[in-house]
C-alpha cells in the first residue's frame, strides 16, 4: 500500500495515542470523520495497522530482568524451524523472537523476574525446545531505547 502524507499523519498520531477518538484524529489530520474512518479502515485491511494494544511495563509487573538469548538449532530444515517456532510461541516470557542469519539461528528477548526466574525459564522452556543445540544468554543492564513506533518519513509517500 502506498502511503500519502495524510496516511503518514494518521499513523504518526496513532503511534503516539492509539486510543484517540476518530473525531479528534480526523481533526488532527484535516479530514472529515467519515473520510478518516475510511482511511483507517484501509490501513487496517492492508495490514499497515496490525492492531491496537496497551503497552505494559514489565518492571511494574515484576519482571525486572531482560535477557537476550541466542539459540542454535541442529539444522535449518523446514521441519526443524517450524517445530522450534511452534514451541517458542507457547513460552509466555518470550517478548520477541527473530530468525537470524549468521552464527545463531534465533535471537530472543525474554522478560524474567530475576536470575532464579530466568533459570526456571531456561530449564522449563528454552532447554526443552525441540532441536536446540546451543543457548547463549546475556542480561541487559539498562534499557536505553525501547520503541514501539517506527519513524515515518515523508519520502515514504
**Residue 157: pLDDT band with limits 50, 70, 90:** very low
CATH number of 5-54: 1.10.10.10
To the nearest whole percent, how much of the chain has pLDDT over 90? 87
Joined grid coordinates for residue 51 = 492492531
Residue 154: how many CA atoms within 13 Å on its side-chain side?
A: 0
**Residue 2: pLDDT band with limits 50, 70, 90:** confident
Closest CA to 66 of 124, 108, 129, 126: 108
Res 90: pLDDT? 97
Res 155: pLDDT? 54
Residue 34: how many CA atoms within 13 Å on its side-chain side?
A: 0
Domain spans of the chain, in order of start: 5-54, 65-139
Closest CA to 81 of 105, 59, 103, 65: 105
Q: Does domain 65-139 have CATH number 3.40.50.10860?
A: no
Res 60: pLDDT? 94
On whether the CB atoms of residues 109 and 66 are closer than 8 A, the answer is yes
Amino acid at each position: 500500500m502506498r502511503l500519502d502524507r495524510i496516511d503518514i499523519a494518521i499513523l504518526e498520531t496513532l503511534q503516539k495515542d492509539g486510543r484517540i477518538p476518530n473525531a479528534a484524529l480526523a481533526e488532527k489530520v484535516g479530514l472529515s470523520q467519515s473520510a478518516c474512518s475510511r482511511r483507517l479502515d484501509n490501513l487496517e485491511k492492508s495490514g499497515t495497522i496490525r492492531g491496537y494494544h496497551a503497552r505494559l511495563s514489565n518492571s511494574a509487573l515484576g519482571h525486572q530482568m531482560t535477557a537476550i538469548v541466542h539459540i542454535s538449532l541442529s539444522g535449518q530444515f523446514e521441519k526443524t524451524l517450524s517445530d522450534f517456532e511452534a514451541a517458542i510461541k507457547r513460552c509466555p516470557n518470550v517478548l520477541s523472537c527473530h530468525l537470524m542469519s549468521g552464527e545463531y539461528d534465533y535471537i530472543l528477548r525474554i522478560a524474567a523476574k530475576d536470575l532464579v526466574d530466568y533459570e526456571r525459564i531456561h530449564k522449563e522452556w528454552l532447554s526443552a525446545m525441540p532441536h536446540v543445540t546451543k543457548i547463549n544468554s546475556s542480561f541487559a543492564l539498562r534499557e536505553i531505547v525501547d520503541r514501539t513506533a517506527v519513524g515515518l518519513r515523508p519520502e515514504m509517500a
